[in-house]
């Protein structure tokens, strides 16, 4: 019968489960779990806020407002109050005699830079006036130099005491067109060098000429070289008089670019030697290589540090800038009146 009968077809029935869960799947369970977690955290936060005193809340709020500042500089924080979240206290590594950061309050000194500058300038003014008075008295007491008082110009500038020795038609400082120093000029420069050496101040030398030009023009030996040679000749006489070599920080040859008598470029007053004795502020400016201080506050702070230190103000050392010199060249005879 099995052999002769027809095969019965196999029927597979797929039954779809109906209902609410089958339609949406299990995504609602994840959303419900998130909601329950959020509500639990919310009620936990409300319970903490309700069980914490108002002072503790303010301490916690102030800690989270500036936690980095408290960590770096020390000071009061949440550990100083009786909070439910304990913190602070002494370090476990602290031993007797040691201090932790924040236990000692740092002292800050506020200085009025304008008042400090005025104080330093007043001290410089008094010293410069003292040197000026000594110089005038020394020249007046020397019969051989008394006749040169009319050729000496002294004034106090913001950088220090400026001593200018001007030329005179009947009494020149150098031979015409050369850097050979006259005998009376040599004696005057040596006396100035001895006096300036008693004052703790650096020296800047500059040579000046009138507008008379050489026959060879600016391409040959000119007023620039002549003023430099005369400034260096004056420097050598100052050193021979007793001035320390390391006190001279700069030697300049300015030619006729900075006249004493601008209205008369040919005036003998334009032929002069300028000796600038630097004060404290002027010293700071010239040692930095600029006529104007890069930072006046930094210069004043350095001066204040020197004043507060127990040791006296250090004298100029070999680290000071070397004098800027120009090699001497022979003068052209007869080329200049």
Q: Around 115, how many Cα atoms within 13 Å sit in the side-chain half-sphere?
A: 3
Q: Which pLDDT does position 274 carry in this prediction?
A: 93
Residue of 277, 241, 262 whose CA lies nearest to 164: 277
* pLDDT tens by residue, 135-154: 888 888 887 777 778 888 88
Q: Is residue 15 assigned to a domain?
A: no
Name the least confident of 204-213, 248-257, 292-301.
Answer: 292-301
Residues 58, 202, single domain; the answer is no
Helix residue spans in 25-112 (DSSP H): 27-50, 54-65, 67-73
Q: Is residue 105 assigned to a domain?
A: no
Q: Which pLDDT does position 141 carry in this prediction?
A: 84
Q: Which pLDDT does position 83 carry in this prediction?
A: 47
Q: Which pLDDT does position 34 carry in this prediction?
A: 93
Q: Is residue 334 assigned to a domain?
A: no
What span, in angstroms and rounded, lies between the C-alpha atoms of 167 and 153? 11
Residues 247, 166, single domain; the answer is yes
Q: Is residue 251 assigned to a domain?
A: yes
* pLDDT tens by residue, 108-132: 444 566 777 777 778 878 888 888 8
Mean pLDDT of 71-80: 51
Q: Is residue 254 assigned to a domain?
A: yes
Residues 57, 127, single domain; the answer is no
Task: Look at residue 213 and tell me whether its pLDDT is greater than 90.
Answer: no
Q: Is residue 68 assigned to a domain?
A: yes
How many domains in the chain?
Answer: 2
DSSP-assigned letters across all residues of 106-158: PP-----HHHHHHHHHHHHHHHHHHHHHHHHHHHHH-TTTGGGGGGEEEEEET
pLDDT band at 2, cuts 50/70/90?
Answer: low
Residue of 219, 216, 232, 228 whose CA lies nearest to 336: 216
- Residue predicted with more confidence, 304 or 57: 57
Task: Look at residue 250 and tell me whether its pLDDT is greater than 50.
Answer: yes
Backbone angles phi, psi at 308, to 5 degrees: -80, -20
Angle, vertex CA 284, rays to CA 278 and CA 288, nearest 5: 115
Residues 59, 150, single domain; the answer is no
Residues 152, 32, single domain; the answer is no
Q: Which pLDDT does position 275 carry in this prediction?
A: 92
Residues 172, 286, single domain; the answer is yes
Q: List the structure tokens of 4.
A: 């002769």
Q: Is residue 85 assigned to a domain?
A: no
Q: Which domain holds residue 203?
A: 113-308
Residues 64, 167, single domain; the answer is no
Task: Look at residue 334 and tell me whether its pLDDT is greater than 50.
Answer: no
What's the whole-number average pLDDT of the chain? 73
Residues 294, 182, single domain; the answer is yes
Task: Look at residue 286 and tell me whether its pLDDT is greater than 90.
Answer: no
Q: Which pLDDT does position 130 carry in this prediction?
A: 84
Residues 49, 194, single domain; the answer is no
What span, in angstroms and rounded, lies between the C-alpha atoms of 70 and 77? 7
Q: Which pLDDT does position 236 carry in this prediction?
A: 94
Q: Is residue 329 assigned to a domain?
A: no
pLDDT band at 201, cuts 50/70/90?
Answer: confident
Cβ atoms of 78 and 85 within 8 Å: the answer is: yes
Residues 128, 60, single domain; the answer is no
Task: Look at residue 76 and tell me whether its pLDDT is greater than 90.
Answer: no
Residues 158, 218, single domain; the answer is yes
* CATH number where 135 lies: 3.30.1330.60
Residues 144, 284, single domain; the answer is yes
Name the least confident of 142-151, 212-221, 238-247, 268-277.
Answer: 212-221
């Amino acid at each position: 019968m099995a052999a002769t009968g027809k095969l019965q077809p196999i029927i597979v029935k797929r039954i779809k489960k109906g209902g609410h869960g089958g339609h949406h799947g299990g995504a609602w369970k994840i959303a419900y779990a998130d909601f329950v977690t959020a509500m639990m955290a919310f009620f936990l936060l409300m319970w903490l806020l309700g069980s914490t005193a108002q002072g503790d809340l303010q301490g916690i709020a102030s800690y989270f407002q500036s936690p980095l500042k408290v960590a770096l500089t020390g000071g009061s924080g949440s550990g100083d109050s009786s909070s439910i979240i304990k913190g602070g206290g002494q370090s476990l590594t602290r031993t007797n005699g040691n201090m932790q950061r924040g236990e000692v309050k740092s002292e800050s000194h506020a200085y009025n830079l304008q008042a400090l500058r005025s104080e330093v300038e007043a001290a410089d003014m008094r010293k410069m006036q003292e040197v000026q008075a000594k110089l005038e008295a020394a020249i007046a007491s020397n019969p051989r130099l008394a006749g040169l008082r009319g050729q000496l110009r002294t004034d106090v500038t913001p950088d220090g005491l400026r001593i200018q020795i001007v030329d005179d038609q009947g009494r020149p400082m150098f031979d015409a067109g050369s850097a050979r120093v006259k005998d009376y000029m040599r004696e005057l420069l040596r006396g100035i060098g001895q006096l300036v050496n008693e004052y703790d101040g650096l020296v800047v030398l500059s040579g000046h000429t009138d507008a008379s030009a050489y026959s060879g023009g600016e391409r040959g030996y000119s007023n620039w070289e002549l003023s430099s040679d005369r400034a260096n000749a004056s420097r050598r006489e100052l050193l021979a008089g007793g001035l320390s070599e390391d006190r001279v920080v700069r030697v300049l040859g300015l030619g006729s670019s900075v006249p004493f008598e601008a209205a008369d470029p040919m005036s003998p007053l334009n032929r002069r030697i300028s000796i600038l004795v630097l004060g404290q502020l002027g010293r700071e400016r010239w040692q930095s290589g600029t006529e104007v201080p890069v930072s006046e506050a930094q210069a004043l702070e350095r001066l204040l540090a020197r004043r507060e230190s127990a040791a006296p103000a250090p004298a100029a050392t070999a680290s000071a800038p070397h004098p800027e010199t120009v090699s001497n060249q022979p003068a052209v005879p007869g080329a200049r009146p």
